[in-house]
Structure 1
Amino acid sequence: MTSDTTDLPVLVIGAGPIGLAAAAHLLERGLEPLVLEAGPQAAASVRSWSHVRLFSPWAEVVDPAAEKLLAPTGWTRPDGAAYPTGGDWAEQYLQPLADVLGDRVRYGTRVTGVARAGRDRIVDADREQQPFTVHVEHADGREERLLARAVVDASGTWSTPNPLGADGLPALGERAAADRISYRIPDLRDPAVRARYAGKRTAVVGTGASAFTALAALAGLAKDAPGTRAVWVLRRGLTGSTYGGGTADQLPARGALGLAAKAAVESGHADALTGFRTAAVEPSADGRLTLVAEDGTRAEELDEIIALTGLRPDLSFLTELRLALDDRLQAPTGLAPLIDPNRHSCGTVYPHGANELSHPEQGVHLVGMKSYGRAPTFLALTGYEQVRSVAAALAGDLEAAARVELTLPETGVCGGAGLYDEPAQDQGDSAGCCSVPAAPQLITLGTPAGGNSCSPGGSC
């Protein structure tokens, strides 16, 4: 860094798990962080799914540098073998960490733009000698411009869920039906939320851990509220790998999520509608909803829809920076080949850091969930290693930045999420791992009392 920027802070966007860990690592390296959080308190996004239990135990969701920062306050790490909920994580670890950082964390401060001072993305002259200018909007509407020596974007992807449409765009009618569509795992502890789904027929769209959790929750509700039923809408076929790694997953709680979803289907509380690519949401004469697939197949008589089709990064405030992003994943080009679900199936993501997260615009790093772009399966452990490496690089310790200090657990999952459009090949026992049926099929496993069923390929 030049003498013009050495007295400026490293600006961290987002006071979530990775942003706060980044601040701890920067302090450990002698760099001054300034964390900007749009929400009113630390871990605002985590708090919005406070009812969901993590599949990583406490031992894997506490950053080492953050723990060192907390230790003098008398803070004690919870039982490392226990699994916190999002609320536990926020209250017992993330908020105390933010409190230790004190005035280095500013709440109600939304970043609206990042650029080089006096330089738009076109201008080359003296670009790297200029500090970053960060435009923010405060909760009261007041605008401000801040200067920074570097920018670490840990704002995540929670605020930008993917739409229902299989083409990546909102399905026709999706916006008009917004009051009947949720993009979050329902908190059935809330009486109002419970009443919304009790005795209703709900479509759960998606194939990841969030969809597994929602299916299991609705199956649990069905035991207390007769008539509660789920239709699990998948773009892929239904195979053994659909449910994740199961007992082969080195994170047992993650494997258990898929097994819980499988139990929901096999117990008859959920039907699996496979090979269904949503194109439209239509209202019915009776006030219910219908999902329409690209091939015209219809899933009818739906009361609610839960869309859990993944997340995507918000890049709107970074348009004046020179970023190298993969054209598919919107992840840094150095990282994308390591996480691309079109290429990867079984196994782990290679640990990575500043080198893979670098951009043509020096001094900018996207970390945490945002670094994965649209790719799934991000772990807190990954983010903590990222910010350790990035902090070392910003401090000039390139040897430490390049060092790998993490081994990630195997998923036990066969088949990348991006492969659902590929037809099955003749591969012996492995055939069908990532296959999709030729036409949408409704598969009902188990027939509970009072349940209904639909013919394969028909509406339901």
Structure 2
Amino acid sequence: MTLLDLTPPKLLASRLQGLPVAIIGAGPIGLATAANLADRGIDFVLLEAGDRIADSIEQWGHIRLFSPWRHLVDPVSKRLLAETGWPEPPADSLPTGAELVHDFLIPLADLPAIAARTRLGATVTDVSREGMDRTRTKGRAQAPFLLRVATADGVEELTARAVIDASGTYRTPNTLGSSGLDPLGLAEVAELVSPAMPDVLGRERDAFAGRHTVVVGAGHSAANTLLNLADLADEVPGTRITWAIRNIQAVRVSTSPDDELQARASIGARVVALVASGRIEVIDRFEIVRLARAGAGDPEASGVRITGRRGDGLETVGADRVVNATGFRPNLAMLREIRLELDEIVEAPKRLAPLIDPNVHTCGTVEPHGFAELTQPERDFFIVGMKSYGRAPTFLLATGYEQVRSISAWLAGDTASARNVALTLPATGVCSTGAPGASGSNCCS
């Protein structure tokens, strides 16, 4: 294992003085990072690829989260907002993704200390060290970070004393293929494949109403879509639902009745009931290998044929539309010149991975962790939030808030506070038993 440099930041001299901390991503964890740094008087720049705050959450804003507000608000952010007269939402109510954004994240982003340092429409494409690729070592810790950023006006480069990557995973979904590769033929039918959690009851209703949809995936993002499709089927005759899973059953959806997050347990129970009633058809042990347009050789055909391995042979299912709810993975391409130490299985930071192994842990049994577990061989570079969990589907926002509180303390030179990590999470049933899964915030992890 690489020997890490844990010298307190205040003892590092030099070229880094006066540079901001760069935060990648203005979702809940990125904004909480900004709040924690602002609270400690540390300069930063917050870079968001979307044209609005929490752009990825807005994509599934119609989905209701299964965690109540008391688990969704970062403590430091709450204190800063309280000073402005912010009306705190009821602790036990369950917001939608859109309500999380509009009732908490936008007011947080509007705080002057954060708004003045936020850049929207700024996509970080690469991170490196100024004048150094990943092979050069001498003087590396004193070299500023170099971020290449694409904007509407072109490409520019920024320098920073530290980088906190809170970019999440929503923009890099897992593939439909069990091999981790895209199924053959995907390009020919790409317009018939929807990303996780489409708004089937709202803006995307016409694409699903009266049609046959195959939902692929075994996590709570799949379950939410199945429930919404069932509601649509009640309203529009001819709406059919098929659920394709790789294993013999979708264990992650079937959480224990003892789950403290009862909304999550309810999601699983409702899906199980719909399957039992025959309103949702299940195809289990189905591993997708090929997609093709319905009507071989007919580019005008409106449906898709899904071929997968099942048992000892191949089976083909026809549908009008496919929903990819197979989960997400981290974008590591942008970090090619950064020295990372990641777990070879889930692609999480090496020291964090044993704590979040989805074969062992549930959302509520993850131990508190902070800067020490997230430290990389690249000094003062941290991956946080959902991206820090790699392909593990067990992330809760409260975990990310404690991560960035600890890291902010470390960057401020407050080593004692950085090491004093504590976190109380709701007890849960089974969140996962293997296959990488859902999107992770508190609606579908």
With normalisation by structure 2, the TM-score equals 0.90
Report if the CA contact (8 A) 2:25-2:46 is conserved: yes
Report if the CA contact (8 A) 1:23-1:35 is conserved: yes
Match of 1:266 among 267, 272, 276: 276
Report if the CA contact (8 A) 2:129-2:145 is conserved: yes
User: Which residue number in structure 1 is paired with residue 367 of structure 2?
Assistant: 350
Cα gap change, 1:346 to 1:29, in 2 (>3 Å)? closer
Q: 1: distance between equivalents of 2:380 and 2:215?
A: 41
User: Which residue number in structure 2 is paired with residue 166 of structure 1?
Assistant: 178
Cα gap change, 1:339 to 1:66, in 2 (>3 Å)? same
Q: Are 1:181 and 2:198 an aligned pair?
A: no
Q: 2: distance between equivalents of 1:389 and 1:116?
A: 24
Match of 1:290 among 305, 317, 327: 305
Report if the CA contact (8 A) 1:215-1:264 is conserved: no
Q: 1: distance between equivalents of 2:171 and 2:432?
A: 27
Report if the CA contact (8 A) 1:341-1:375 is conserved: yes
User: Which residue number in structure 1 is paired with residue 121 of structure 2?
Assistant: 108
User: Which residue number in structure 1 is paired with residue 6 of structure 2?
Assistant: none
Report if the CA contact (8 A) 1:346-1:411 is conserved: yes
Q: Are 1:92 and 2:107 an aligned pair?
A: no
Give 4+ residue runs of structure 1 displaced > 3 Å after superposition: 342-347
Q: 2: distance between equivalents of 1:157 and 1:345?
A: 19
Q: 2: distance between equivalents of 1:18 and 1:311?
A: 17
Gaps of 5+ in 2: 1-11, 296-300, 438-445
Q: 1: distance between equivalents of 2:107 and 2:182?
A: 39
Cα gap change, 1:346 to 1:13, in 2 (>3 Å)? closer
What is the deviation of 1:410?
A: 2.1
User: Which residue number in structure 1 is paired with residue 245 of structure 2?
Assistant: 234
User: Which residue number in structure 2 is paired with residue 451 of structure 1?
Assistant: none
Q: Are 1:122 and 2:122 an aligned pair?
A: no
Q: 1: distance between equivalents of 2:167 and 2:94?
A: 24
Cα gap change, 1:201 to 1:56, in 2 (>3 Å)? same
User: Which residue number in structure 1 is paired with residue 322 of structure 2?
Assistant: 305
Cα gap change, 1:346 to 1:396, in 2 (>3 Å)? closer
One-letter identity of the residue aligned with 1:18: I
Q: Are 1:407 and 2:420 an aligned pair?
A: no
Q: 2: distance between equivalents of 1:163 and 1:118?
A: 36
Q: 1: distance between equivalents of 2:431 and 2:348?
A: 22
Q: 2: distance between equivalents of 1:29 and 1:3?
A: 21
CA RMSD of aligned residues (A): 1.8
User: Which residue number in structure 1 is paired with residue 414 of structure 2?
Assistant: 397
User: Which residue number in structure 1 is paired with residue 212 of structure 2?
Assistant: 201
What is the deviation of 1:419?
A: 9.8
What is the deviation of 1:249?
A: 1.2
> How do 1:63-78 and structure 2 match up within 5 A?
63-78=74-89
Q: 2: distance between equivalents of 1:284 and 1:298?
A: 15
Report if the CA contact (8 A) 2:223-2:267 is conserved: yes
One-letter identity of the residue aligned with 1:180: L
User: Which residue number in structure 2 is paired with residue 428 of structure 1?
Assistant: none
Larger relative contact order, structure 1 or 2 (CA cutoff 8 Å, min sep 6):
2
One-letter identity of the residue aligned with 1:149: R
One-letter identity of the residue aligned with 1:160: T
Match of 1:61 among 72, 75, 92: 72
Q: 2: distance between equivalents of 1:369 and 1:213?
A: 19
- Residue 290 of structure 2 aligns to a residue whose secondary structure is strand
Gaps of 5+ in 1: 421-460
User: Which residue number in structure 2 is paired with residue 248 of structure 1?
Assistant: 258
What is the deviation of 1:287?
A: 4.2
Moved more, 351-360 or 335-344: 335-344
With normalisation by structure 1, the TM-score equals 0.87
